[in-house]
Amino acid sequence: MSVTPSSLQSGDALLIVDVQLDFCPGGALAIAAGDEVVPVLNRWIELARHAEIPVYASRDWHPAGHPSFEAQGGPWPPHCLQDSDGARFHPDLALPESTIKVTKGVRFDQDQNSAFDQTGLAQELQRHDISRIWVGGLAEEVCVAATALDARREGFEVYLINDATRPVTTAGGHEARQRLMEAGVRMSADA
Ligand code: VGL
Ligand code: ZN
């Protein structure tokens, strides 16, 4: 079953995961067509504004020598270094001034793929009486999947915005979608 964007209502939040330059074409960890999520998410930001629901945006924000980097034995090339150009949100992403930012990946000893991992985000959302979360961003099978799965574990209703995410690999994306659906994450229609 798909859900239409007109379903946005009080008690919902839009959660935009890691739409940063390093994950877009030309970036340090470029995801194919990663920047195509931007116009889609901009429509959802507009819908969120109309529905007067909060917008959260997470960002990967690594120190030099982060354990997720290849030189440290991790799986990734260096990316989203704190205060670097590549760590900036995509400049065309029309984040409202009221956007609440969630910074993650700052630990020296372990990675945090999920925006819920040791950030206090679940408590923050509960404090604002949020029960449903609409998720999009990058990368589908990495931080988007980890975030959506944690949101389910924390008891939220979760919708993945269908066209607002892109995977590192096509197979990884399919596999993630399967896992998400098994965990009760629903797929939303496009805005
Ligand atoms: C991500 C790889 C490494 C993501 C973050 O945001 O999906 N992927 N760090
Ligand atoms: Zn990272």
Q: Tell me the average pLDDT across 71-87.
A: 98
Sequence-distant (6+) residues with CB within 8 A of 38 are: 19, 90, 92, 93
Mutation test residue for ligand 1: of 17, 23, 135, the one with most atoms within 8 Å of CB: 23
The distance from CA 116 to its chain's CA centroid, rounded to whole angstroms, is 11
Per-residue pLDDT tens digits for 35-52: 999 999 999 999 999 999
- Our answer on whether the CB atom of 143 is closer than 6 Å to any ligand 1 atom is yes
Measured by CA distance, the residue closest to atom 4 of ligand 1 is: 143
Sequence-distant (6+) residues with CB within 8 A of 7 are: 188
The whole-chain average pLDDT of the chain stands at: 96
Is 104 a residue of the active site? yes
- Can you list the domains of the chain with their CATH numbers? 5-188 (3.40.50.850)
CA 10 to ligand 2 center in whole angstroms: 32
Tokens of 165: 């995410």
Per-residue pLDDT tens digits for 99-145: 999 999 999 999 999 999 999 999 999 999 999 999 999 999 999 99
Q: What's residue 1's pLDDT?
A: 45
Q: Above 70 in pLDDT, residue 23?
A: yes
Q: What's residue 108's pLDDT?
A: 98
